[in-house]
Amino acid sequence: MIKVGIIGSTGYAGGELVRILTGHKEAEIKWYGSRSYIDKKYAQVYQNMFQIVDDKCMDDNMEELSREVDVIFTATPQGLCASLVNEEILSRTKIVDLSADFRIKDVKVYEQWYGITHPTPGYIPEAVYGLCEINREDIRKARLIANPGCYPTCTTLSIYPLLKEGLIAPNTIIVDAKSGTSGAGRGAKVDNLFCEVNENIKAYGVAAHRHTPEIEEQLGYAAGEPLKINFTPHLVPMNRGILITAYASLKKETSYEEVKAAYDKYYASEQFVRVLEQDVCPQTKWVEGSNYVDVNFKLDPRTNRIIMMGAMDNLVKGAAGQAVQNMNLMFGIKESEGLNLVPMFP
C-alpha cells in the first residue's frame, strides 16, 4: 500500500486528489495537509466526505511528512513546494508538485512570468514534466514530478501529433481556450463571485497568461524547434472543464486520413486520450469528472489551415487525475488504477 501525504488538500485540486485516492486500491492517504484548517476535520471542510474521511487536517511540514509517507502531492500556490523541497526530503519520498515550480526548464522564464524568485532552481533539471502520454518512461524513474498545468495539458495533447509529424507550421499556432471557474482556485476573489461569473464570459490574461511559456516549451519539444503562440484563455460560467480550439497553417495539402493517422500513431493505445470520430467536436460535458481528454480536428482547405480541438476536466486530467496517473507510473502499478472514472452526465 502506497502511503500518501497531500499538502494543500482543501483546495479544489487537493479535494479532487482526496476523492480519487479514496477509491484507489493501492494507496492510502496518511496526511491531509492544510495550513488554513489545521485540526479541523476534513469532512467539515468538504461535507461530501462525511463518514468517508474521519481525519483532521494537519500543517504543511514537509520535513516531518517525508518521514511518514512514500509520496507527497503538493497542491499549493507557486513557490511553496520549491521553498520546502531539499535533498534530505527527496531521499526519503517522491514528490508530485501540482504547481508550476518545476515545469519550465529556464528559471529566468519562470521568474519573469510568475513574478517570484525561484528558491531551489537546482532541482529544475531533474524534475520530469509529468505528461504521461509523452514522458511515460522518464516518469517511471523520477523522484520529482512537475505535474502539468491544465491548459498546457489539453493544448499539448490536442496539437502534439501534428507537430511531431511535421504537418503544421509551428509559428502559426493560435490557441483559444475556455475554462470553468474551479480553475481559478478556491480562494475568495471578487472576479469569481457568482454575480461576476454567471451569465458572463470573458477573456483574461490576454497575451500575458503564465501558462503561455509552458505550452510553448512543450510544443517546441514536439516541433524540434522553439516556437511562439498566441494563447487566449476565457472564463466561462461552469464549475469544471476546459475546451481548447487551436488553429494552425498546414505545411502542404493534407487529407483527413493523413491527419487521423497521425493522431492514431500517438494515441491509439492511450486509454485516456480519445480521438473522436470524424466531424464530432469535443465537449466538456462528455469528459466531466473523468481523466479523459477528447481530441479531434477539422481541415479547412479554403484557408489551408487546420482546427484542432480538445476537451477535458481541468480538476482531473488537468490536475489531480494526472497527478495520480504519475504516481501510478512512479510506483510501477497499473497506470489507470483509481482513474477508471466514467464521465458524469448530465
Handedness of CA 211, 19, 63, 76 (dihedral sign): positive
- The predicted pLDDT at position 95 comes to 98
Mark whether 184 and 104 lie in a shared domain: no
The per-residue pLDDT string of the chain (346 residues; one tens digit each, 9 = 90 and over) reads: 999 999 999 999 999 999 999 999 999 999 999 999 999 999 999 999 999 999 999 999 999 999 999 999 999 999 999 999 999 999 999 999 999 999 999 999 999 999 999 999 999 999 999 999 999 999 999 999 999 999 999 999 999 999 999 999 999 999 999 999 999 888 878 988 999 999 999 999 999 999 999 999 999 999 999 999 999 999 999 999 999 999 999 999 999 999 999 999 999 999 999 999 999 999 999 999 999 999 999 999 999 999 999 999 999 999 999 999 999 999 999 999 999 999 999 8
**pLDDT computed for residue 185 by the predictor:** 86
Domain that holds residue 255: 151-313
Percent of the chain that is helix, strand, coil (3-state, to 5):
35, 20, 40
Q: How many domains does the chain have?
A: 2
Please check whether residue 65 lies inside any domain of the structure.
yes
Spell out the residues 6+ positions from residue 330 whose beta carbon is closer than 8 angstroms to its own. 71, 94, 96, 139, 140, 142, 143, 145
Same domain, 43 and 178: no
Place of cell 482543501: 10
Please tell me whether residues 115 and 206 are part of one structural domain: no
Q: Do 122 and 158 reside in the same domain of the chain?
A: no
User: Which residue, 316, 298, 318, is CA-closest to 308?
Assistant: 298
Asked if residue 197 lies in contact with residue 237, where contact means CB atoms within 8 angstroms, the answer is yes
Q: What is the pLDDT of residue 267?
A: 98
Judge whether 230 lies within some domain: yes
Angle at the Cα of 172 (from 167 to 173), degrees rounded to 5? Answer: 85
Answer yes or no: do 71 and 181 share one domain: no
- Shared domain check, 290 and 245: yes
Listed in sequence order, the residues at least 6 apart from 221 whose beta carbon sits closer than 8 Å to its beta carbon are none
Please indicate whether residue 132 is annotated as part of the active site.
no
Q: In what order do the strands lie in the sheet containing 230-235? A: 202-203, 230-235, 174-179, 242-249, 305-312, 293-300, 273-275
How many Cα atoms occupy the beta-carbon half-sphere of 256 within 13 Å?
8
Phi, psi of 190 (to 5 degrees): -55, -45
The residue among 126, 160, 189 that closes a domain is 126
Residue 346 lies in a domain: no
What pLDDT sits at residue 163?
98
Terminal alpha carbon distance of the chain: 35
Instruction: Judge if 94 and 157 occupy the same domain.
Output: no
| 148: three-class secondary structure by DSSP | coil
Say whether both 199 and 79 belong to one domain: no
pLDDT at 305: 98
**Do 166 and 300 lie in a common domain?**
yes
With CA atoms as reference, report the closest residue to 165 among 297, 283, 287: 297
**Residue whose C-alpha cell reads 502534439 in the numeric block:** 160
- Examine the fold and report which residue of 126, 142, 168 is the final residue of a domain before the chain moves on: 126
Is there a domain that residue 189 lies in?
yes
Contact 7, 74 (CB under 8 A): yes
CATH number of the structural domain spanning residue 106: 3.40.50.720
Report how far residue 157's alpha carbon sits from residue 165's, in angstroms, rounded to the nearest whole number. 14
| Active-site residue identified among 57, 81, 150, 154 | 150
What is the pLDDT, as a whole number, of residue 191? 86
Q: Does 334 fall in a domain?
A: no
The answer to whether residue 322 is domain-embedded is no
Kindly state whether residues 206 and 165 are assigned to the same domain. Answer: yes
Whether the bond between 346 and the residue before it is cis, its omega within 30 degrees of 0, is yes
The residue type found at 138 is: D
Report if residue 327 sits inside a domain: no
In this structure, the answer to whether residues 157 and 245 fall within a common structural domain is yes
Show the cell assigned to 163.
507537430
Contact 178, 242 (CB under 8 A): yes
Same domain, 161 and 246: yes
Considering the domain boundaries, does residue 340 fall inside one? no
| Residue 282: CATH number of its domain | 3.30.360.10
**What is the bridge-based pairing of β-strands 230-235 and 202-203?**
antiparallel
Amino acid (1-letter code) at residue 271: Q
